[in-house]
Amino acid sequence: MNDLKSSTKNSNNNMPKAVLFDLDGTLVDTADDLGAALNHVLSCHGLPLCNPTEYRPVASHGAKGLLELGFGERLSNYDFSILRQQFLDYYALHICDHSRLFPGGLELVLHLNQQQIPWGIVTNKPYQLAAKMLRQLPELSECAILLGGDSLAQRKPDPIPLWVASHQLSVPAAQCWYVGDAERDIDAGNRAGMTTVLAAFGYIGPSDRPELWQADLSIQSLADLINLVGNNQSY
């Protein structure tokens, strides 16, 4: 994995014609709202709650990962589909109580818009929830394509959602960058033939090995991506 200084991809010939993002843990910090949904379900069943240091590294893994965290070995004693629906019902009502763009996010999307570089979101979050979140975050109103985890038969780490998004944007996959904080994001982007960017500030757990994920670039904040993208209009 390359850092900002050593990357050979940060050259005029490799500037993106489009940028695609994961959502949770990459573009939007959603951990506290997801954690609140988990704690609601745990509370309903009289179980101990999870604190942010526990649920934050797992937030990118959605309802399944969070419920596995909270219920642990007790999960097999419950109907998972009921727990998941309880989680999603609560989360849908509180989807943006605390969720905000990560630092540098607003500046980044303004820069992409100014440079006329289309950008979009490919997430494993259910489409309706992702769309509801975007409606409550006006900073993301210029999003050109949104694909959720249930938009297609395939989901990340399958590359097909990224190919569909690049096709919708009329940009070859090889000229797209994909930014994500999870191994499945980098895997999907690499398999799609895109330049992959690791959001190292995201929801990466202590057992994760991002140095093995083979991302092309790594950023410590969304603002870092502004420098990488540069001034597209001069090429």
Question: Model confidence over 56-82: pLDDT tens digits?
Answer: 999 999 999 999 999 999 999 999 999
- Do 204 and 178 sit in the same domain of this protein? yes
75, 189: one domain: no
Residues 16 and 116 in one domain: yes
Kindly report the CATH number assigned to the domain that includes residue 216: 3.40.50.1000
| 50 lies in some domain | yes
Q: Check whether residue 156 and residue 167 sit in a common domain.
A: yes
Residue 130: other Cβ atoms inside 10 A: 25
pLDDT in tens, 117-154: 999 999 999 999 999 999 999 999 999 999 999 999 99
* CB-neighbour burial class of residue 76 (10 A; exposed 0-12, middle 13-18, buried 19+): exposed
| 23 plus 48 within the same structural domain | no
Instruction: Specify the residue for token string 């937030």.
Output: 59
Alpha helices for the chain (secondary structure H): 31-44, 52-55, 62-71, 80-93, 105-114, 127-136, 160-168, 183-192, 222-229
Which residue out of 3, 22, 32, 208 is catalytically annotated?
A: 22
pTM: predicted TM-score of the whole model, two decimal places: 0.91
Q: Among 77, 93, 109, identify where a domain stops.
A: 93
Does residue 232 surpass a pLDDT of 90? no
C-beta contacts of 13-17 below 8 A and 24+ residues apart: 14/195, 15/229, 15/230, 15/232, 15/235, 16/117, 16/175, 16/176, 16/177, 16/195, 16/229, 16/232, 17/117, 17/118, 17/171, 17/172, 17/175, 17/176
Quote the pLDDT of residue 11: 37
138 burial type by CB count under 10 A (0-12 exposed, 13-18 middle, 19+ buried)? exposed
> Are 79 and 162 part of one and the same domain?
no
Query: Would you place residue 102 in the very low, low, confident or very high pLDDT band (cuts 50, 70, 90)?
Result: very high
Strand 18-21 to 176-180 pairing: parallel
Domain coverage including residue 124: 12-28+100-234
- The predicted pLDDT at position 231 comes to 65
Residues 72 and 121 grouped into a single domain = no
Q: Answer with the one of 93, 111, 126 that is the final residue of a domain.
A: 93
Does 4 reside within a domain?
no
CA distance 41 to 47: 9
Residues 224 and 129 in one domain: yes
> pLDDT, tens digit, for every residue of 200-218?
999 999 999 999 999 999 9
144 and 186, same structural domain? Answer: yes
pLDDT tens-digit map of 5-52: 333 343 334 789 999 999 999 999 999 999 999 999 999 999 999 999
Are 40 and 144 in a shared domain? no
What is the number of domains present in the chain?
Answer: 2
**23 & 35 share domain:** no
Q: Which domain-ending residue is among 70, 93, 116?
A: 93
Residue with structure tokens 């379900």? 41
| pLDDT tens figures, 164-199 | 999 999 999 999 999 999 999 999 999 999 999 999
Q: In the annotation, is 216 catalytic?
A: no
Do 140 and 52 lie in one domain? The reply is no
